[in-house]
Structure 1
Amino acid sequence: MLAIKLPNLDFLSQRRKALILSGVIMLVSLLSLAILGVNRGLDFTGGTLIEVGYKTPADLADVRAALSDGDFGSVMVQQFGTPRDVLLRIPPVGDVNDAELSQRVLRALNAAAPDQVELRRVEFVGPQVGKELAEQSGLAVLFSVMGILAYVSLRFEWRFSVGAVAATVHDSILIMGIFSLFQIDFDLNVLAAVLTVIGYSLNDTIVVFDRVRESFRKMRKGTALEIMNKSVNETMSRTVITAGTVLLVVVALYAFGGENLRGFSLALIIGVISGTYSTIYIASAVAVMLGVSRHDLIQTPKQAEVDARP
C-alpha cells in the first residue's frame, strides 16, 4: 500500500507579502464602504418590491421612461432571470398601501406597452422594520465576533484568539467591500451568508490551530514558524477537499438558483475562498507575529497538576 506523501510548502514565508496584500484590500474595501456604502435591499430600507412579466423581451430604458411618466421617479429597475422578467424596487411612498401602489405601477407600464405586462409578485417592507433589521444585523455580527474571541481564548491561547478574530473580520469586510464596490444588493440573504462565512472561517481556523497545538507537543525540535508550517501542510488536504466541495455547491447555486439566491451564493463563494486564505495568511500569520511559542501551548507538569484539581 502506497504511503501518501504530505506536501511541504513554506506557506508562512510569504506572510508579510500576504499581510500587505490583505491590508491594501481592506483599505479599498473600507474606503468603498465609507464613500459608496452598501446598496441596501428593501429588507433594510423599507419599500415595495414588484416583479412583472412581459410577453416579449423588455427594454429597461422604456420601462424607466414609462414609470417616470407615471410619476415614479426613483424606482430601481433590473432584469430578473429572463429578458421578459423585470424587478422594480420602489422606496416608501407616503401612506399608499402596497396593493394600490402595485396597481398604479401596472397601469403606468400598460400605458406604455398595452396588454404586454402582468403582475407576478408584490412584497412590502415598512421603513421602521427595515431600520430595526439593520440595527439587529449589526449586533448579530458584533456578538459573533465577541463570541469567537471568547471561545478561542478559552480553548487555545490569546494570540490565536486575536488571529482568529482578525481572519473573520478580514473575510466579513472583504465580502461587504466587494458588494459595496460593485453596488450589489445587500439584503438579509447576504447577511446570512456573511454570518455563515464567519462560522466556516472559524471552523477552518480551529482545525489548523488544533493541529498546531498537537504538533507543538509532539515535535521537540523546530521553531514556532516551522511547526506551524508543518501543521498547515498536514491539514491542507482536508482544507482543499472541504473548500472544493462547498465551492461546487455554491457555484451551482449561483448558476442555477435564480435571482433571489444570487447575492447569497456570491457572498458564500467569496467567503469560502477568503476563509481558506485567511486561515493561513491572517490567523496563523498574526499568531506568529505576536510571538506564539512552545511555552504558550505546553503546560509544565506543575501547571497541569494545578489545572487537573477539582
Structure 2
Amino acid sequence: MEFFKIKRDIPFMRHALVLNAISVITFVAAVFFLITKPLNFSVEFTGGTVMELLYPKAADQEKIRNTLRGMGYSHPEVASFGTAQDIMLRLPIVAGAPAASSSTAVFNAICRDDQGTTKQTQTTTDKGEVLNRTSCVAPGGQELISLQQVQFVGPSVGDELAQNGLNALLMVILGIVVYLAIRFEWKFAVAAVVANLHDVVIILGFFAFFQWEFSLTVLAATLAVLGYSVNESVVIFDRIREMFRKQRRMSVPEVIDHAITSTISRTIITHGSTLMMVMSMLFFGGYALHYFAIALAIGICFGIYSSVFVAAAVAMWLGVKREDLIKPVKEKDDTDGAVV
C-alpha cells in the first residue's frame, strides 16, 4: 500500500556525513546528560513503599499528589489501576523513617484532607480468617477510603530489577545481531546495533535531562523501541538486497537511496499510525501511561531517523557490496568429465 510514489530517488547518502554528524552530536549530548544528571529511577529500582487505596468513587489524583508533596515527596507517583477508584501510590524510601510508619503517616494525611479519621476494623473471610483493615471514615460513619495493601520494596529488590533490566537489554541486542547476521550479513548487523543503541541512549538522555521518572514501564517501552526500530531497518535492508539483484549497474549509494525512497510511503503509513496510537495514550492514558508513551514517541521518531540515516549509512561505510548478499553464480565447466 502506498500513499504516493516518488519517481526520482532522493539522494540520502549524499548527505549521510552531515546527518550522521548530527546523530553523533545528539548521542554525545545524551551521554553527557546521563553522566551529569543520572536517571530519576522509580521506586521499583530504588526501593520504597507501594500502597493500594480503594475509593467509593473516582479519586482526585491531583489532590493526593498535592498532599504527598506537602509531606516532602517531591515526585509522588499516583496512578489508577483497573478502575478510577483503585489508586496505587509509590513512595521512595525516606531516610530514618521505617516503611510502616511512612505508610501510616501518608494514609493519615490523605484521610485528613478528605475530612475523615482513620479507623481499624476487622473483617472475617469466607475461610474464617480475621483480617485487620485500615479505613478512613467520615463523621457520619461512611467509608471514604480503604487501605487495601501495603508493600515494601527493598533496595536489594530494586538492584535485582535493575540488573534484570540490563540483562534483558543485552539479550535483545545480542538477538538482533545474531538474527541480522544470519538473515543478511554481519555489516548489516553491526549497522542495526549502532542505530538501535543510538535510539536507546537518546531516550535515556531525554529522561536524564528532564529528570522524568524512569520506571519498569519506561524500560518496557525502551525494549519495545529496540524491536520496532530494527523492524524498519530490516525492511530497508531487505529492499537493498532486492535492488542489488535487480539493478546490477547501480552503485552502492544509489542502491541504498533507491531502497529508502521506495519504502518512504510504507514508513509514513506504519510509523504515522503507530505514533497516533501512542499520542492517544500520552494525552488520554493518564499518569500511569504518561512516561511510557513519551518513551515510545521519542523512540519511534528517532527510530525512523536512525534506520534511514544511521543504519543505512553505517552499512555503506562498512563497505557492504553486492557480493556480500548475492553469491556469484559459478559457471559450469564443459570439460568436466571429458576423456582426453
Taking structure 2 as the reference length, the TM-score comes to 0.76
| Structure 2 SS opposite 1:163 | helix
5 Å-filtered alignment, 1:14-53, equals 14-50=15-51
Asked if 1:139 corresponds to 2:167, the answer is yes
Number of the residue aligned with 1:231: 259
Number of the residue aligned with 1:70: none
Tell me how far apart the structure 1 counterparts of residues 109 and 152 of structure 2 sit (CA, whole Å): 19
| Structure 1 SS opposite 2:91 | strand
Tell me how far apart the structure 1 counterparts of residues 246 and 159 of structure 2 sit (CA, whole Å): 53
Shift of 1:43: 1.1
| Structure 1 SS opposite 2:38 | coil
Letter paired with 2:290: R
Shift of 1:229: 0.3
Provide closer, same or farther for how the CA distance between residues 59 and 253 of structure 1 changes in structure 2, counting only shifts above 3 A: closer
Number of the residue aligned with 2:300: 272
Shift of 1:60: 6.9
Number of the residue aligned with 1:215: 243
Where does the alignment leave 5 or more consecutive residues of structure 2 unmatched? 118-135, 137-144, 332-340
Checking the alignment, whether the CA contact within 8 Å between 1:46 and 1:92 is kept in structure 2 is: no
Which one has a larger percent strand, Structure 1 or Structure 2?
A: 2
Provide closer, same or farther for how the CA distance between residues 112 and 260 of structure 1 changes in structure 2, counting only shifts above 3 A: closer
Tell me how far apart the structure 2 counterparts of residues 59 and 109 of structure 1 sit (CA, whole Å): 7
| Structure 2 SS opposite 1:301 | coil
Q: Deviations over 1:195-228 (max 9, x none)?
A: 1000001111001100100100100211100011
Asked if 1:91 corresponds to 2:93, the answer is yes
Tell me how far apart the structure 2 counterparts of residues 24 and 151 of structure 1 sit (CA, whole Å): 29
Shift of 1:26: 0.8
Tell me how far apart the structure 2 counterparts of residues 120 and 168 of structure 1 sit (CA, whole Å): 43
Tell me how far apart the structure 2 counterparts of residues 18 and 187 of structure 1 sit (CA, whole Å): 32
Shift of 1:146: 1.3
Shift of 1:137: 0.4
Provide closer, same or farther for how the CA distance between residues 224 and 57 of structure 1 changes in structure 2, counting only shifts above 3 A: closer
Identify which of 226, 249, 274 aligns with 1:198: 226
Letter paired with 2:92: I
Q: Deviations over 1:12-61 (max 9, x none)?
A: 22211111111111111111111211110111111014588987974977
Letter paired with 1:6: I
Identify which of 194, 204, 207 aligns with 1:179: 207
Letter paired with 1:240: I
Checking the alignment, whether the CA contact within 8 Å between 1:74 and 1:91 is kept in structure 2 is: no
Provide closer, same or farther for how the CA distance between residues 103 and 219 of structure 1 changes in structure 2, counting only shifts above 3 A: same
Provide closer, same or farther for how the CA distance between residues 272 and 60 of structure 1 changes in structure 2, counting only shifts above 3 A: closer
Tell me how far apart the structure 2 counterparts of residues 56 and 243 of structure 1 sit (CA, whole Å): 33
Tell me how far apart the structure 1 counterparts of residues 249 and 169 of structure 2 sit (CA, whole Å): 40
Provide closer, same or farther for how the CA distance between residues 41 and 219 of structure 1 changes in structure 2, counting only shifts above 3 A: same
Where does the alignment leave 5 or more consecutive residues of structure 1 unmatched? 68-72, 304-310
| Structure 1 SS opposite 2:165 | helix
Which one has a larger percent helix, Structure 1 or Structure 2?
A: 1
Shift of 1:101: 3.1
Checking the alignment, whether the CA contact within 8 Å between 1:33 and 1:180 is kept in structure 2 is: yes
Find the structure with the greater CA-based Rg.
2
Letter paired with 1:179: F
| Structure 1 SS opposite 2:49 | strand
Checking the alignment, whether the CA contact within 8 Å between 1:106 and 1:119 is kept in structure 2 is: no
Checking the alignment, whether the CA contact within 8 Å between 1:33 and 1:177 is kept in structure 2 is: yes
Checking the alignment, whether the CA contact within 8 Å between 2:78 and 2:90 is kept in structure 1 is: no
Letter paired with 1:89: L
Shift of 1:125: 2.1
Number of the residue aligned with 1:258: 286
Q: Deviations over 1:125-167 (max 9, x none)?
A: 2222111000010011011111111111111112111110011
**How many residues are aligned here?**
292
Tell me how far apart the structure 2 counterparts of residues 86 and 273 of structure 1 sit (CA, whole Å): 31
5 Å-filtered alignment, 1:142-157, equals 142-157=170-185
Tell me how far apart the structure 2 counterparts of residues 86 and 155 of structure 1 sit (CA, whole Å): 45
Shift of 1:5: 3.5
